[in-house]
Chain A
């Protein structure tokens, strides 16, 4: 068990190191650097040279990578290219807003998805299953900006129930984002619910077809006792991993939703800094998101391992 744990941690760490190398190398390979972006037209001769010297861009790439990576480990992400502001500070506020959106969407989506997933599996091929399974395919496949636009049209423009755009500033306290945050949360939760629902449904159906459930049925165990005692504990474990994937997606992949609703989260900051070619900020955000992705997945693996004794042995070795 301990060896398994260590192995997982090491693999996660290796992945994060690789990501940081990919991010750094990617930005290196692309034409232009922080100085050409900052100086724009005047990026030539003496001015460019001075700027490069000030920012330390005239050192070798390896030296700068080590500098950047070791800074990131202790939470120093450097300064942005245009404003010369501390990136850690800039990102902090946006991060808080992204976490707020993620938290709201998760607390609505996860219980709903598990409930609907179990219901659709238990009443498989009945009207209720067909309805929610079809709805899930729609929610999952339709682009986020499409569903967001349609929801704004219906609930904000036609019905006038909810505000269709977020006007609160990025560093406002969480409470001020209500009720503006409701529509973004609905869109995010919709996509998320669909993914988890499908997973839970498949998983419950698999367990229902298993030998031990048939055995319990033949022994005459009451149906609901089978469902709650045998089916659900076994079926819900795989859901942990999907929830993990979804959390990682939530923090980075909701970029489009944040743009549609003008929500000041990490994703919109990412788009803005890419458009401004503020490479230090892009690097920092990429590293943060990748680290979150790896950490969340690792945590999910460990949780699954702890909750399911069968996974602790030979299965994990593959």
Chain B
């Protein structure tokens, strides 16, 4: 009990952040995971400055070459440098999911906390709507919108943010239910505070940890969805380099040029695994026993 009370005394955001970071880094899996994530973020920002070639540069003479001193990972079916394209291949995915994840967590979190506080029949009904949305496969929901409205960032961000906010509602509501029954919420109600004040001062600080871990998990699911869509040809449009698209393109040639598949495979996997390891250690650090669910 004292362990949970102690951080509450000095609850400055800065201290909390440092504490969380320490907690994550103190576990081997967390340290590896966070390093991978930081590395990928740095790469996403600085890769245009360090890539050796132009990602659009097509060369018939260099088609499907193996690794060489000039082209470390070889070249793809259009003679483009795979190393360059792999380094750049995560930027679009990280940008889109990086914007969509906070939006999803904020709107899903707020709705979830609100209905968790209100409770009663309307809360029950809301949960049925959430269930109804969750019972449809994610790819169906997303594809229908994408096929209708196109594949740009302007479509992908709101689509991802909307659909991935729905499972957050459920998590936030469950976490709120645990808190609402506690005495300090009753006390706040008795003092005559409004719902918004109670949410801001009593509920949010107690649900925030859960939401943060959930946000990290959502990010990884979103990346998975984004690259799957790219792979299927519904995401990033060529010639923009993207890991999912690169894997789809190089698949046909992998019997004699496996480098084109393996390089993006390694990069994409390392980012997603990094996020998951970080989320896992964060959950352990914050004392949240998270039950891994199937992708929704």
Residues on A facing B (Cβ under 8 Å): 11, 14-15, 18-19, 22-23, 26-27, 30-32, 137-138, 140-146, 149-150, 152-153, 157, 195, 198-199, 202, 242, 245-246, 248-249, 252-253, 255-256, 259, 267, 270-271, 274-275, 277, 282, 285-286, 289-290, 293-294
Task: Decide: A195 and B292 in contact? CB cutoff 8 A.
Answer: yes
Interface residues on B, range: 35 or more
A11→B289 CA distance, assembly (Å) = 28
Known: A149-B261, A245-B294, A274-B144. A157 touches B272 (CB 8 A): no
Task: Decide: A246 and B132 in contact? CB cutoff 8 A.
Answer: no
Residues on B facing A (Cβ under 8 Å): 128-129, 131-140, 143-145, 147-148, 220, 224, 227-228, 231-232, 244, 247-248, 251, 254-255, 258, 261-262, 265, 268-269, 272-273, 275-277, 280, 289, 291-295
Query: Which B residues are in CB contact (< 8 Å) with A255?
Result: 137, 139-140
A214→B254 CA distance, assembly (Å) = 55
> B254's closest neighbor in chain A, by CB?
A153
Query: Which A residues are in CB contact (< 8 Å) with B248?
Result: 145
| Chain B facing A: main interface SS | helix
Known: A195-B294, A274-B147. A145 touches B140 (CB 8 A): no
Which of A145, A199, A274 touches B143 (beta carbons < 8 Å)?
A274
A242→B292 CA distance, assembly (Å) = 9
Known: A145-B228, A199-B291, A246-B294. A290 touches B135 (CB 8 A): yes
Query: Which B residues are in CB contact (< 8 Å) with A290?
Result: 132, 135-136
Task: Decide: B295 and A253 in contact? CB cutoff 8 A.
Answer: yes
Min CB–CB distance B253 → chain A (angstroms):
10
Task: Decide: A245 and B136 in contact? CB cutoff 8 A.
Answer: no
Task: Decide: A141 and B272 in contact? CB cutoff 8 A.
Answer: yes
Give me 14 A-to-B residue pairs in the complex whose CB atoms sit less than 8 angstroms apart, sorted by A's number. Answer: A141-B224, A141-B275, A145-B228, A149-B251, A150-B265, A195-B294, A199-B291, A253-B294, A256-B228, A256-B231, A267-B137, A274-B140, A289-B137, A293-B134
Task: Decide: A15 and B273 in contact? CB cutoff 8 A.
Answer: no
Task: Decide: B129 and A18 in contact? CB cutoff 8 A.
Answer: yes
| Chain A facing B: main interface SS | helix
Known: A15-B131, A15-B135, A199-B291. A137 touches B277 (CB 8 A): yes
Min CB–CB distance A165 → chain B (angstroms):
11
Task: Decide: A198 and B292 in contact? CB cutoff 8 A.
Answer: yes
Min CB–CB distance B267 → chain A (angstroms):
10
Query: Which B residues are in CB contact (< 8 Å) with A253?
Result: 137-139, 294-295
The 8 closest A-B pairs by CB, nearest first: A252-B137, A18-B132, A293-B135, A290-B135, A19-B132, A141-B276, A249-B294, A245-B294
Q: Which of A145, A150, A252, A294 has the most CB of B within 10 A?
A: A145
> B251's closest neighbor in chain A, by CB?
A149
Known: A18-B132, A143-B224, A153-B254. A286 touches B140 (CB 8 A): yes
